[in-house]
Structure 1
Amino acid sequence: MGEGFSSRFSSEEMAAIRRSLRDEARFGSDFMALLKRVAKRIPFAEDLLAAYLCARDPATPRRVRLTLLAALGYFVLPIDALPDIMPLLGFSDDAAVIAAALAAVAGSITPEHRETAKEMLARL
């Protein structure tokens, strides 16, 4: 890793992440509101929604849920390596985090999660 790079979150950032994930209803509404605003502009919207559905599924193992919620939390929270308002680059860090999380838990996202995500996106 290069000099000056730190993968650690500040205490304020960690507190914001914990608050967001603790309040599941608010997290879900924040996630859906952001997804509605950006779904047409990001190519990984279906993956995001499938990950969210998998994380909410009670049959999903806890380790998988935590992995997905951490990645989704990065997408939702304004704490970002690259601000989402930057044209073209703004969501690239979010896409990388989501892609890494999906690769880590690929077998847990079912065809039903993906189909439901596709149907929900069609209604947005």
Structure 2
Amino acid sequence: MTLSEGMIAEILKIGSDRDSAEREERVRSSFFAAVRRALRHIPFMDDVVAAYYCALDPKTPATTRGILIAALAYFVLPMDLIPDMLLGLGFTDDIAVLLAAFNAVRGNIRPEHYDRARETLADF
């Protein structure tokens, strides 16, 4: 099963302030556990972790933060359209959503976000 552009757009929709706050809470509490679970399956994990630091950076524009939080919230959910536990397929939907988010906000993920990501991943 692949995600259509419409499905990805719906996942990345920023939503209300309450929705964004709930998503951010979910991301903050579950992000690094999801990274550990997906580390071997997502080849661009440095981008994922840099996106996390970008999303939490108060200097990041609100729209960029919203898109990244939405994508990261989808990433941390263990049961999504394609459950992550399905070997070979489980992370394909996460990858599609994350790549769409990165393409939308790539210019806002700064070198210092990548520096922090590399430092973090070195500890894994």
* TM bracket, shorter-chain basis: 0.7 to 0.9
Q: Paired residue for 2:77?
A: 77
Give me the whole-angstrom Cα distance separating, in 2, the residues matched to 1:83 and 1:63.
Answer: 28
Q: Paired residue for 2:32?
A: 32
Q: Any idea what the Cα deviations from partners look like across 1:27-75, whole Å, max 9, x if unmatched?
A: 3121111112322332121111111000000000000000000000110
Taking only aligned residues, the RMSD between alpha carbons, in angstroms, comes to 2.5
CA contact (8 A) 1:21 1:27 kept: no
Q: Paired residue for 1:45?
A: 45
Question: Which structure is higher in RCO with an 8 Å CA cutoff and minimum separation 6?
Answer: 2
> Alignment length, in residue pairs?
112
Report the structure number with the largest CA radius of gyration: 1
Q: Paired residue for 1:55?
A: 55
CA contact (8 A) 1:72 1:98 kept: yes
Please list, as runs of the form range in 1=range in 2, the aligned pairs for 1:107-122 lying within 5 A after superposition.
Answer: 107-122=107-122
Q: Paired residue for 2:3?
A: none
**TM-score of the two chains, using structure 1 as the length reference:** 0.78
Give me the whole-angstrom Cα distance separating, in 1, the residues matched to 2:81 and 2:68.
Answer: 18
**TM-score of the two chains, using structure 2 as the length reference:** 0.78
Give me the whole-angstrom Cα distance separating, in 2, the residues matched to 1:38 and 1:107.
Answer: 25
Gaps of 5+ in 1: 1-5
Gaps of 5+ in 2: 1-5
Q: Paired residue for 1:66?
A: 66
Runs of 4+ aligned structure 1 residues displaced above 6 Å come to none
Residue 86 of structure 2: SS of its match in structure 1?
A: coil
